[in-house]
Structure 1
Amino acid sequence: MSLSLRNAGWRVGGKPIVHGATLAFEPGQVTAIVGPNGAGKSTLLRLASGLLPATSGAVWLGNAPLTSFSPAQLAACRAMLTQDCALRARFTLRELVAMGGQVSAPFMGHSARWALAGLLLERVGLAAFAERDVMDLSGGERQRAHLARVLMQLEAPVHGTDQPPGFLLLDEPISAQDLSRQHLVLDLARAHARCGGGVGMVMHDLNWAAACADHIVVVHEGGIDAQGPPEQVLTSALVSRVFGVEEGRVHMHGGTGKPYVLPHDMICQ
């Protein structure tokens, strides 16, 4: 079952923010959405999640439009980590994470939900802070706490079964992380895909995107400029045209065959 946008778009006051977007997030696959600032990447992901209603085209989950699912059904099939996870009440980390399964898995007992919350906090490297107030954390720690919460939303409904989890949609999930935590978060995304879930991530770092994604979607001026495997999509010509970087700055890694960009090449001498 794929999560697909079919010629989808979103307008504000008659102005198209995203237009003609056709792509599919597939189970077992990590898709990275890249592009310049203001290109429409986050809007595209919010359309895929159903948080924004398509003003043209449609979004489908499997063989049915996203709009045909109830909130509880949708919560069990897809979860989104937004950039602005603001809290207006104070919770411990364990309480925050446990709440992720309340709508998607209302049948799950308190003790089972509590235990799974602890396991997910361990995965994101925050087990030692389980009883700490979320607002006492650093920005990067809070971002990972919310990642554990959205993982809870997808894993609670299938906990203890061999059913694959749903679609994990992440908007800039490594923006507040140091290098080792960036690696941790992206490893978690890859692990979700290995378990049969689908992953869609908005990313600014082309090197991390190329290294971890199976599929790259390049958004430019509200439309999809290119998509496919990283080694086919992230060429010097595309990076020059879309990002305004001088051609010849994309290299191919000898070990992985994946493209990468060296910032040293762009520093003025």
Structure 2
Amino acid sequence: MKLSLRNAGWRVRGKDIVHGASLDFAPGQLTAIIGPNGAGKSTLLRLVSGLLPATSGDVQLDDVPITTFSSARLAASRAMLMQDFPLRAQFTLRELVAMGGQISAPFMSAPVRFELAGKLLERVGLAAFAERDVMDLSGGERQRVHLARVLMQLEAAVHGTDCPPGFLLLDEPISAQDLSRQHLVLNLARAHATSGGGVVLVIHDLNWAAACADRIVVMHEGSIYAQGAPEQVLTNALASHVFGLEEGRVRMHVGSGKPYVLPHDMIYQ
């Protein structure tokens, strides 16, 4: 399965928010999208998902325009965790996660769906709260239960088969998490890629992006500025031009060979 952008863009009120984007996303790969605020990262991810219709170019799934697929096929092929997830209805965590499989796997019985939902809650560290009302959770806990829901959407679709899961699209999935749970969430993303699925995540933290991604895509002023392996992309020159950092702020980690930035270097000069 391949997910692609072909010269895709989105224009609103006469302004190009994203323009000329051409990318291929492959199973087994974790791609991190980085860039300054307002660069078009979340818009790019929404284009990839098909939730936002391209106003130019094309978005394709296996070389076929994504607009031609049914909602059930799309739900089985990709799932997106958004930055904001307004929710006012009262559901238990198990009920909410189980809903993730209703469109992508209508064939799955309710007992099996609820059993899988319980396993996914355990993976995101919320099994003890399975019967609690979602509205009683903290922001970070709610973010993780929605991660379990989108994982449910993909895993239910291939439950009991040898088919790999589809694409997991994550918009700032660690924004409300403490350090240990940031590690947990990104490990779950990596596990999804290792299992044969594809992962595309928008992330502001350059260090986590460099540490966890196979490929980094840099957005700048609505277009793709650079892409490649972290050590090739996250250079001092790029950090200076795109993020406004002073030269010399990007260093290479001795153990991993991956780039990193120390905030201390930006404060104590």
Fold match by TM threshold 0.5: yes
Instruction: String of CA shifts for 1:181-231, please: whole Å, max 9, x gaps.
Output: 000000000000001000000000000000000000000000000000000
Instruction: Give, in whole Å, the separation in 1 of the partners of 2:125 and 2:105.
Output: 24
Distance 1:88 1:5 in 2: 34
Give the counterpart letter for 2:5 in structure 1.
Answer: L
d(CA) in 1 for partners of 2:87, 2:224: 33
Q: What is the match of residue 260 of structure 1?
A: 260
**Corresponding letter in the other structure for 1:179:** L
Q: CA deviation at 1:255?
A: 1.0
Q: Any stretches of 5+ residues in structure 2 without a counterpart?
A: none
TM-score by length of 2: 0.99
- CA separation of 1:29/1:69 partners in 2, compared to 1, >3 Å: closer, same or farther? same
1:88 aligns with 2:88: yes
1:174 counterpart SS class: coil
Within 5 Å, give how 1:166-177 maps onto structure 2: 166-177=166-177
Written as runs of structure 1 = structure 2, the 5 A alignment for 1:159-238 is: 159-238=159-238
CA contact (8 A) 2:34 2:204 kept: yes
- The 5 A counterparts of 1:117-136 are 117-136=117-136
Letter matched to residue 202 of structure 1: V
Structure 2 counterpart of 1:93, one-letter code: L
SS at match of 2:27: coil
CA distance, structure 2, for counterparts of residue 147 and residue 156 of structure 1: 14
Deviation at 1:88, TM superposition (A): 2.4
- The answer to whether the 8 A contact 2:88-2:135 is kept is no
* Cross-structure match for 1:38: 38
Which residue of the partner structure matches residue 100 of structure 2?
100
CA distance in 2, matches of 1:24, 1:180: 31
CA distance in 1, matches of 2:178, 2:92: 23
Quick one: distance in 2 between partners of 1:125 and 1:160?
24
| Distance in 1 of aligned mates of 2:2 and 2:265 | 39
Q: How far apart in 2 are the matches of 1:183 and 1:249?
A: 24
Q: Once the two structures are superposed, what CA deviation does each residue of 1:99-154 show, in whole Å capped at 9, x if it has no partner?
A: 00000000000110000000000000000000000000000000000000000000
- Percent of aligned pairs sharing the same letter: 80
Q: Amino acid of the residue matched to residue 4 of structure 1?
A: S
Alpha-carbon distance, 1:63 to partner: 2.3
CA offset at residue 161 of structure 1? 1.4
Aligned counterparts of 1:75 and 1:117: Cα–Cα separation in 2: 17
**How many angstroms apart in 2 are the aligned matches of 1:105 and 1:93?**
19
Could you tell me how far 1:268 is from its partner in structure 2?
Answer: 4.4
Aligned mates of 1:91, 1:81 — CA distance in 2: 18
CA contact (8 A) 2:4 2:63 kept: no
SS at match of 2:19: strand
SS at match of 1:72: helix
User: Could you report, residue by residue, the CA deviation over 1:1-48 in whole angstroms, capped at 9, with x for unpaired residues?
Assistant: 211111100000111000001111110000000000010000000000
The normalised TM-score by structure 1 is 0.99
Offset at residue 174 of structure 1 (A): 0.2
Give the structure 2 partner of residue 149 of structure 1. 149
1:238 Cα deviation after fit:
0.1
